[in-house]
């Protein structure tokens, strides 16, 4: 199998567009069989064992409606994928998703994932005409998404506890990054992703009380006080 042509060169990673050959012959399919890699994905991605044939079928079905970039180390070891999907032409919006094997190049893994998000986010704003990028995740990944705040992804909402067929569903949050915030960040830094040294400093300075916990407490307190006044009137 030939190596993929690098589409975006990064500092900790490179990003490449996948091909049908890559879908058939690489280990791309195996990422969706690894419980550690997919542990935070929706249940529908965990039900069936993936195969190279299924991965090829997925690629052919999705290549025109999903913008996919394969993540590799600087030594060309493929370790994950970051993608944009659910394009809405009316709103000029889309969703972002990422899975990656953190056991590959583990020291750089947390920063590699973050840089992958930064690079594809910037590409979407500069070249795809996107103005809003949405991300959805489980509350268990709140510290990862706090890091995404460094690239303009702000909390939009958190879901309340809810059940389907008596099964409690996970609490989900939605974050969004908009074009205006992207421009502000880039103006401040000169580069959206400037360098790893500066990114580490920014990560270490993130507030200890993250927005998710603060929002949940505010929502709970406000809701209780609001309905207490109504119910007791």
Q: Looking at the domain assignment, is residue 222 inside a domain?
A: no
Residue-level pLDDT, tens digit, the chain, 233 residues: 789 999 999 999 999 999 999 999 999 999 999 999 988 877 666 677 999 999 999 999 999 999 999 999 999 999 999 999 999 999 999 999 999 999 999 999 999 999 999 999 999 999 999 999 999 988 788 889 899 999 999 998 877 665 555 566 667 888 999 999 999 999 999 999 999 999 999 999 999 888 888 887 887 888 888 888 888 87
Structure tokens at 114: 């973050």
Number of domains in the chain: 1
CATH assignment of the domain containing 101 = 3.40.630.30
DSSP codes, 20-62? HHHHHHSSHHHHTT-HHHHTTS-GGGSSS---HHHHHHHHHHH
Assigned domain for 233 exists: no
Q: Is residue 224 part of a domain?
A: no
Please report the beta strands in 4-162, taking only residues with DSSP state E, as ranges in sequence order. Answer: 6-9, 14-16, 67-72, 78-88, 93-100, 132-138, 154-158
Does residue 102 fall inside a structural domain? Answer: yes
In a domain, 160, yes or no: yes
- What pLDDT, on the 0 to 100 scale, is given for residue 166? 59
Domain assignment of residue 144, given as a range: 6-208
220 in any annotated domain: no
Distances (CA, A) of 138 to 41, 111, 142, 229: 8, 20, 7, 32
pLDDT at 169: 61
- Quote the pLDDT of residue 215: 82
228 in a domain, yes or no?
Answer: no
229 found inside a domain? no
């Amino acid at each position: 199998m030939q190596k993929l042509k690098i589409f975006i060169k990064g500092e900790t990673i490179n990003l490449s567009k996948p091909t049908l050959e890559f879908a058939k012959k690489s280990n791309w399919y195996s990422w969706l069989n690894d419980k550690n890699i997919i542990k935070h994905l929706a249940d529908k991605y965990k039900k069936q064992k993936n195969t190279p044939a299924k991965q090829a079928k997925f690629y052919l079905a999705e290549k025109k409606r999903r913008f996919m970039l394969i993540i590799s180390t600087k030594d060309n070891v493929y370790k994950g994928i970051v993608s944009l999907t659910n394009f809405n032409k009316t709103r000029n919006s889309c969703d972002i998703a990422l899975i990656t094997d953190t056991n590959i190049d583990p020291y750089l893994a947390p920063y590699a994932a973050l840089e992958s998000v930064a690079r594809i986010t910037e590409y979407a704003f500069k070249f795809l005409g996107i103005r809003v990028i949405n991300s959805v995740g489980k509350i268990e990944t709140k510290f990862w998404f706090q890091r995404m705040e460094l690239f303009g992804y702000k909390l939009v909402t958190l879901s309340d506890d809810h059940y389907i067929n008596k099964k409690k569903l996970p609490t989900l949050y939605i974050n969004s990054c908009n074009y205006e915030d992207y421009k502000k960040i880039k103006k401040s830094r000169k580069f959206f992703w400037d360098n790893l040294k500066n990114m580490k400093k920014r990560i270490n300075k993130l507030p200890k009380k993250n927005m998710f916990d603060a929002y949940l407490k505010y929502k709970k307190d406000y809701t209780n006080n609001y309905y207490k006044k109504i119910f007791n009137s």
